[in-house]
Amino acid sequence: MGNILVKMEKKYEEMLDKAYLNIPKEALEHSRFEIPKVDSNIQGKKTFVKGITGIIKEMRRDKKHFFKYLTKETATSVTESGQNIIINGKFGAIQLNKIVENYFKQFVICPECGKPDTKIITQQGTKQMKCEACGAISPVKGI
C-alpha cells in the first residue's frame, strides 16, 4: 500500500511540473500595471492631448476604435495631429484620464486576472477579449 502512495505522489509531482511549464510567462510576472496618464492642456475652446500614440501603443488596440470611443465619451469631434490629438471643447486632465481608464477597464484589462496582456479575437462571429496571461476569454461589447 505504501508503495502505491509513493508512485501516486511521484506522478502527481510530475503532473504539477508539466502544468507549471505550460503556464505563460506573462502569468508568472508580478509587475504592477498602471494605466498611462493623459498630458493635456486647454487652449481657447480646444483641448490638446500630447503623446496619445504612446497610450495607444500600450493599449495594443486599433487607434480608430479608441478615437471613436473618445468621440462618443466627449460628445464632440477628435482630430489627430501627428502624435497628438485635438478635442473640440474644454476637457480637463481628470476627465480625460477617467475616459482612458474606463477604456482600459472595458477593452484592455482582463476581467479574470487584471493584467493588460489581452488581444481582441473573433470567435463564432463575435468579438472576444483573450488574455495571453491567464487564457481567459470574455465577451467584448462595443467593438
Q: Which residues contact 125 (CB under 8 A, 6 or more apart)?
A: none
Q: Which band of pLDDT confidence, cut at 50, 70 and 90, is reported for residue 16? A: confident
> How far is it, in rounded angstroms, from Cα 127 to Cα 64?
16
Give me the pLDDT at residue 27, please: 56
Task: For residue 50, give the H/E element and its range.
Answer: strand 46-50
Instruction: Give the model's confidence band at 35: pLDDT under 50 very low, under 70 low, under 90 confident, else very high.
Output: confident
What is the arithmetic mean of pLDDT over 5-21? 77
Residue 77 above 70 pLDDT? yes
Domains and CATH numbers, the chain: 31-108 (3.30.70.3150)
- Write down the pTM of the prediction: 0.74
Nearest residue to 121 via CA among 103, 139, 134, 96: 139
